[in-house]
């Protein structure tokens, strides 16, 4: 991934949050002249993700720190495998280490969980996608981590795709009214954005099918209902399953024939990968 200005600013803010007026422990115990080297190794197996972000944390702290990566984003790390080694001023290494690890562990954790979901449905044509249930300001990084794990991204935000959900339908009065308004707005603003509608039962699916939309979401339907909906939709548009998706249920959901399975847990519940950073004097 290329680091956008937003990500670089996020890294700068994260360092400022942690360092504040100064790393008083390091400044008081470590000589400024001391150089060090170190490694990051895996304490649990998982998918590596976030190497450019980790490197940028060190660069913003002290550009003289040099990192050498032994794996690439998307590769599997086994327990005790070293993913990166680095060398530079010890004060700077110790000041940057936690912020750098926080990014790497969080992104690797999302990529690892995503890969688990993807592997469970690889015998089907369904795709695992994420949601907007992301950490504020971290969305670009978390959605990159989903892609690194083999998943795909849903919309990036409220601006790049219409997603008519139950609250929109309630406020608009009906599914037809909400869709008609979205189509009108799409045309008037010349957006050319895709339109998706959330449905909860077959009656709502049939209502949505009366309009030229691109995707129907099946919300919290059981597998039998999903199969019926997929048959009824009959490739007139894409079909997304949402709600009640877990590692225990994703395989049978994929086998209903849906095109996409959205999983909020990829970003809101992924455990961080267990990585450790160790240093020594040069």
Distance in angstroms (rounded) separating the CA atoms of residues 20 and 23: 8
CA distances from 94 to 61, 73, 100, 278 (A): 10, 24, 10, 10
Q: Kindly name the residue from 73, 97, 219, 259 that is annotated as catalytic.
A: 219
User: For this structure, is 37 an active site residue?
Assistant: no
User: For this structure, is 165 an active site residue?
Assistant: yes
Q: Kindly name the residue from 196, 198, 240, 259 that is annotated as catalytic.
A: 196
Q: Kindly name the residue from 16, 66, 98, 184 that is annotated as catalytic.
A: 98
User: For this structure, is 73 an active site residue?
Assistant: no
User: For this structure, is 127 an active site residue?
Assistant: no
> Under a CB-based contact definition with an 8 Å cutoff, are residues 106 and 149 in contact?
no
Q: Kindly name the residue from 52, 133, 200, 227 that is annotated as catalytic.
A: 133
73, two tokens:
């984003």
CB count, 10 Å around CB of 266? 28
254, two tokens:
């994929």
Tokens 């919300």 identify what position?
Answer: 219
User: For this structure, is 274 an active site residue?
Assistant: no
Least Cα distance to 133 among 113, 153, 159, 111 occurs for 153
Least Cα distance to 36 among 2, 62, 72, 11 occurs for 62
**What amino acid positions are annotated as catalytic residues?**
98, 133, 165, 196, 219
């Amino acid at each position: 991934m290329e680091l956008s200005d937003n990500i670089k600013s996020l890294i700068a803010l994260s360092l400022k949050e942690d360092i504040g007026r100064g790393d008083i422990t390091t400044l008081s115990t470590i000589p400024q002249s001391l150089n060090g080297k170190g490694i990051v190794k895996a304490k649990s197996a998982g998918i590596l993700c976030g190497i450019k972000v980790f490197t940028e944390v060190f660069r913003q702290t002290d550009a003289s720190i040099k990192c050498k990566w032994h794996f690439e984003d998307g590769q599997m790390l086994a327990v005790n495998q070293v993913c990166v080694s680095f060398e530079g001023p010890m004060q700077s290494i110790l000041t940057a280490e936690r912020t750098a690890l926080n990014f790497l562990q969080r992104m690797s954790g999302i990529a690892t969980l995503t890969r688990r979901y993807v592997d469970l449905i690889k015998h089907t044509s369904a795709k695992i996608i994420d949601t907007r249930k992301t950490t504020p300001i971290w969305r670009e990084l978390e959605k990159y981590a989903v892609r690194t794990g083999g998943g795909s991204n849903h919309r990036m935000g409220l601006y790049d795709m219409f997603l008519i959900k139950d609250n929109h339908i309630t406020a608009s009065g009906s599914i037809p009214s909400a869709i008609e308004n979205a189509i009108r707005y799409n045309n008037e603003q010349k957006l050319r954005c895709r339109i998706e509608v959330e449905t909860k039962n077959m009656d709502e699916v049939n209502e949505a099918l009366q309009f030229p939309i691109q995707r129907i979401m099946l919300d919290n339907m059981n597998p039998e209902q999903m199969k019926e909906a997929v048959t009824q939709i009959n490739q007139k548009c894409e079909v997304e399953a949402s709600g009640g998706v877990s590692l225990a249920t994703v395989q049978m959901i994929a086998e209903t024939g849906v095109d996409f399975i959205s999983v909020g847990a990829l970003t809101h519940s992924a455990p961080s990968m267990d990585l450790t950073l160790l240093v020594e004097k040069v």
